[in-house]
Structure 1
């Protein structure tokens, strides 16, 4: 488990706008080893079925105390609502994941080799430990505890390189819109 620090740079009701900003950020990143991670809170059996078809090896656990989990071999439909996670997926699965969500709160996190140098703020090339972009869909926070009708884009950086987050936002014509928060993965 590693920590990065994330700062929101865009909140929009338009999912395609959020994806455009993600694409622009990825356009300046070192995309070696690019992969995506998914997390979603699911209350509907229909959405659960669609996501398990797309992500058959995903881990899940009940959001209720003492509930079931994939580790126990339980049937997830019997334990709704569940939290489902899938790591190290190919980027080609993002559209299908987003299509299957319905209104469920979710995150898509792009993980890659690093950020470019930011000489204007005194930073060299950023390494993989803090190089992520997260799109929160129908949520305002990385933990999916604040459901929303809109979507939020976060840039992740190392804590000691906090200046990189506003610099990254500026590279795509935006500015930070919230505090730098620890993100645990």
Structure 2
């Protein structure tokens, strides 16, 4: 399995604007097998409880245990901050997730089958390993390490199809605003 490469195309203080751009990108994608992955740094018992209700099988871990929770019996509230991950969630859980995380650093990644062909840059249909959109909330980076007062939308592509990222941005009236970087997962 190879990682995708991501490039930011929008930074905004208005979460609704970020979600609108995501919706426009999804409108041109092949959404067969659409699922959503969530990730958040959580420091509040209330936020954690709400997220665990929404994502009952979430993985959680601390900074010192990046491979998973310290042990299956551990109480995550005794390990704050904890990083929480939910995989392969239905798209309708996005809004409840964003409401629950509040001001916490978080990301939502939409995973789908393919990007459309981009004949203007010589590319056919882009396959699954490079077909994602990520919205980072209250943070500037995909690793959730740079807290920010704004939100960033990233498009993901295969590294050998790097020219697809600016093409995708142009399809929604934007341009890339940062470098192409390997996505963490």
* Fold conserved between structures, TM > 0.5: yes
Alignment of 1:160 onto 2:160: yes
Q: Point out 4+ residue stretches in structure 1 off by more than 4 angstroms.
A: none
Cα deviation, 1:108-142, whole Å, max 9, x if unaligned, reads 00000000000000000000110000000001000
Q: Specify every segment of 5 or more residues in structure 2 that has no aligned partner in the other structure, as ranges.
A: none
Q: CA RMSD in A?
A: 1.4
- CA offset at residue 63 of structure 1? 2.3
Which residue in the other structure is 1:41 paired with?
Answer: 41
Alignment of 1:121 onto 2:103: no
Query: Are the counterparts in 2 of residues 9 and 175 from structure 1 also a CA contact under 8 Å?
Result: yes
Query: Are the counterparts in 2 of residues 7 and 179 from structure 1 also a CA contact under 8 Å?
Result: yes
Which residue in the other structure is 1:14 paired with?
Answer: 14
Alignment of 1:98 onto 2:98: yes
Output the TM-score relative to the length of structure 2.
0.96
Give the direction of change, closer, same or farther, for the CA distance of 1:122–1:181 in structure 2 (3 Å limit). Answer: same
- CA offset at residue 71 of structure 1? 4.7
Secondary structure (helix, strand or coil) at the match of 1:160 reads helix
Query: Are the counterparts in 2 of residues 39 and 86 from structure 1 also a CA contact under 8 Å?
Result: yes
Query: Are the counterparts in 1 of residues 142 and 184 from structure 2 also a CA contact under 8 Å?
Result: no
Give the direction of change, closer, same or farther, for the CA distance of 1:65–1:22 in structure 2 (3 Å limit). Answer: closer
- CA offset at residue 23 of structure 1? 0.1
After TM superposition, the structure 1 = structure 2 runs for residues 143-158 of structure 1, keeping only pairs within 5 Å, are 143-158=143-158
Cα distance between partner residues in 2 of 1:36 and 1:42: 19
